[in-house]
């Protein structure tokens, strides 16, 4: 691909990041090699000191991984420009999981004695990391309602050592959104960096760098891979110097790098991201409206329904409401269990963003490690069911839901 071509997002999903290798392979190959040859002792020294660019050892990087990192960086930067008109350039680091990407993000940006500011309703693993791992490293987290911008400002004012504001929007599984633009401006006024977990939206539906954030991360396990074939995570940053030094050092030393096979699967999956997301979103709209009008459904959290408190905010910062929703069946936990057990087409499993529709029960699975009080405060009620709407024919999804809701 010629570098200066002005391509649409879907074309970038296919072409961005690709570099033809010496054998002219059309598809990025799987480089299954743990180490790389040094042509001379001098060359080895130059590689290690950074004077020469090249591959050294699999934990530091791999050509398959580089191509997918560059693809995702291009998608997050798609059509974004610096104030002087030059295109935004981002650096991405692929990890073995979303949690590995979060670990690198937090440990490379927050040190002992510093604090993280975040909001309710985070992914269960992130919440557990904040509760159970970071305190022993001397890192405290303040959780507040980020809908209240005055409360956010008060926190930033009174706590001088908040190093990072971490946002997850839309959040898992309530679909709560927070205002990326307003919060980033506030944080930057207090010298605090901002990171966004963009897993639910993908760069197709939301580009946090448009609002000036410092980092974006994804669990690539979800929509980016799209087929449920590999666990992965990506951390993307706009301060290239910081990414290439401090963050890269943490990436390499924490050992959470990905591998060539998973990177290959991710690279293939992303090629159809735009197509899949359009279908996911169309199907989700129909499913949400069906559930919202069903007599056996108590309530539905879906950003595309005007009843969702963040309907307007979603319209401001996202291209579409996405494919995730959560709902409660009338009768709470027991009715929800019966509903899940009756499903025939929709798959009962955790995770999200795969071609098939996935249904799960957060309180007993992804959020089982989160204290019940905090869980309820985050809107994760005992009977809440999360649904990641797939790309099957929507009539088939609807008829499965209809038969399962006849309790």
Nearest to 323 by CA among 390, 227, 231, 393: 390
Q: For the purposes of burial, counting CB atoms within 10 Å of the CB of 8, is it exposed (0-12), middle (13-18) or buried (19 or more)?
A: exposed
Nearer to ligand PLP, 127 or 381 (CB): 127
What's the token pair of residue 149?
């911008």
Nearer to ligand PLP, 197 or 310 (CB): 197
Nearer to ligand PLP, 102 or 394 (CB): 102
Q: How far is the CB of 98 from ligand PLP (least distance, A)?
A: 2
Assess contact for 325 and 358: CB atoms under 8 A: no
Nearer to ligand PLP, 219 or 259 (CB): 219
Q: How far is the CB of 103 from ligand PLP (least distance, A)?
A: 10
| Cα first-last separation, the chain | 55
| DSSP-derived secondary structure letter, 81 | B
Q: How far is the CB of 126 from ligand PLP (least distance, A)?
A: 6
Contacts of 240 (CB under 8 A, 6+ apart): 89, 90, 91
Contacts of 33 (CB under 8 A, 6+ apart): 58, 62, 260
Phi, then psi, of 287 in degrees rounded to 5: -65, -40
Q: How far is the CB of 100 from ligand PLP (least distance, A)?
A: 7
Q: Which residues contact ligand PLP by CB under 6 A?
A: 97-99, 123, 125, 168, 172, 197, 199, 219, 221, 231, 233
Q: How far is the CB of 350 from ligand PLP (least distance, A)?
A: 7
Nearer to ligand PLP, 208 or 233 (CB): 233
Q: How far is the CB of 205 from ligand PLP (least distance, A)?
A: 14
What's the token pair of residue 118?
């975040």
**CA diameter of the chain:** 74
Q: How far apart are CA 144 and CA 153, in angstroms?
A: 11
How long a stretch of residues is the chain?
407
Q: How far is the CB of 19 from ligand PLP (least distance, A)?
A: 26
Residue nearest to ligand PLP (CB): 98
Nearer to ligand PLP, 12 or 172 (CB): 172
Q: How far is the CB of 56 from ligand PLP (least distance, A)?
A: 26
The DSSP H or E segment spanning 388 is strand 385-388
Nearest to 377 by CA among 158, 119, 110: 119
Nearer to ligand PLP, 97 or 326 (CB): 97
The DSSP H or E segment spanning 144 is strand 140-144
Nearer to ligand PLP, 289 or 365 (CB): 365
């Amino acid at each position: 691909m010629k570098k200066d071509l002005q391509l649409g997002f879907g074309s970038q999903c296919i072409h961005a990041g690709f570099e033809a290798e010496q054998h002219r392979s059309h598809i990025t190959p799987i480089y299954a090699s743990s180490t790389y040859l040094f042509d001379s002792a001098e060359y080895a020294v130059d590689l290690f000191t950074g004077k020469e660019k090249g591959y050294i050892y699999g934990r530091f990087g791999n050509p398959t991984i580089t191509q997918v990192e560059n693809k995702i960086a291009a998608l997050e930067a798609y059509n974004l420009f610096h104030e002087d008109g030059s295109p935004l350039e981002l650096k991405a680091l692929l990890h073995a999981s979303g949690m590995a990407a979060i670990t690198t993000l937090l440990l490379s940006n927050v040190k002992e004695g510093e604090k993280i500011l975040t909001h309710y309703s985070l992914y269960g693993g992130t919440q557990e990391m904040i509760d159970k791992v970071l305190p022993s490293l001397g890192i405290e987290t303040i959780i507040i309602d980020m809908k209240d911008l005055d409360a956010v400002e008060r926190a930033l004012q009174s706590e001088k050592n908040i190093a990072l504001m971490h946002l997850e929007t839309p959040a898992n599984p309530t679909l709560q959104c927070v205002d990326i633009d307003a919060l980033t401006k506030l944080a930057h006024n207090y010298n605090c960096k901002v990171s966004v977990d963009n897993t639910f939206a993908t760069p197709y539906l939301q580009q946090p760098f448009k609002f000036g954030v410092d980092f974006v991360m994804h669990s690539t396990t979800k929509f980016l891979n799209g087929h449920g074939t590999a666990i992965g995570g990506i951390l993307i940053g706009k301060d290239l110097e910081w990414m290439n030094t401090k963050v890269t050092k943490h990436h390499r030393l924490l050992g959470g790098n990905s591998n060539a096979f998973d990177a290959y699967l991710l690279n293939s999956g992303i090629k159809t991201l735009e197509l899949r997301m359009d279908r996911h979103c169309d199907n989700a709209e129909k499913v949400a409206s069906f559930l919202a009008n069903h007599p056996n459904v108590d309530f539905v959290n879906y950003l595309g329904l005007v009843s969702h408190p963040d309907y307007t905010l979603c319209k401001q910062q996202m291209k579409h409401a996405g494919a995730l929703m959560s709902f409660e069946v009338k009768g709470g936990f027991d009715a929800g269990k019966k509903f899940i057990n009756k499903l025939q087409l929709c798959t009962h499993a955790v995770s999200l963003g795969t071609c098939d529709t996935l249904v799960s029960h957060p309180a007993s699975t992804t959020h089982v490690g989160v204290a019940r009080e905090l869980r309820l405060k985050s809107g994760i009620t005992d009977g809440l069911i999360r649904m990641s709407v797939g790309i099957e024919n929507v009539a088939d999804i609807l008829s499965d839901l209809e038969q399962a809701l006849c309790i």
